[in-house]
Structure 1
Amino acid sequence: MKFEDLHRGRHIEAGPACVLAAEIIEFARKFDNQWFHTDPMRAESGVWNGLIASGFHTCSIAMQLVATTILEGSESYASPGLAYVKWPHPVRPNDLLTLHVDVLESKVSTSKPWLGVIRWTWRLVNQNDVTVLELEATSLFKLAA
């Protein structure tokens, strides 16, 4: 999508993405090596009653959905960061995740008129419509000359 397509009030859905136990373990072994992400047997008797995905894995899934659905072919080139990120519920093996994106603000920078700024929320839900990720991001787009 182009910057012009991302106007305030726009709602976009992406997914679903299926999360496999092997992917949860692989990601965690590499980036978040905690037993409740990497050891299914031990996780069964843990506080989460089973294996759960790393929150950062959950963010990566959301990013992949945004990249392939919204940002592919766009002028997006950077993000200065997130206002917040929350993981209200865990992601479990075989969850089907759908992303809901809502554009809060779309503006052209006053100091850099070649720069478009998008402020948006991303909400990732599982197959039961339970929210597993909420975040607010700012994304930058190079505008056509």
Structure 2
Amino acid sequence: MIAFCPTSNLFLGSGLFDLTTADSKKVRVGLGTDVGAGTSFSPLQTLNEAYKVMQLQGKKLSPFKGLYMATLGGARSLSIDDKVGNFIPGKEADFVVLDWAATDLQQLRFSYSSGIEDKLFALIMLGDDRNIFETYVAGKSVYQRDTLNPR
């Protein structure tokens, strides 16, 4: 099990994580966020950095693989995928609802997006906390943007 935290690796100068080798050896890898040595708790900003780390190695990180590492892949890497990581009935429902186009730039970029993969890529490259529309914990809404008081 490995937590791939590119902001931590880059901040410490500890090297570029070789996701391709980890995948080839069937190592379970989840996306990690860390401000002890990294720079963000945001999965979107961390995915943005993960993409860049892969680029520096001459490799690509698909938006689908990145999203997987941030969700079910992370749960599998911790052996808690029986409880969290996707929307299968019976699992705990802790999740965020994202707004694809929370900023003017994102709205413009999405107007030129050619499909779901391109939209996910744009979200990963341009996304941040402004994209969080609603947050659920144990199936109950605990935060909704544009409301005066969180629920």
TM-score normalised by L of structure 1 = 0.26
Higher strand share: 1
Higher helix share: 2
Question: 1 or 2 for the larger relative contact order (CA 8 Å, sep ≥6)?
Answer: 1
TM-score normalised by L of structure 2 = 0.25
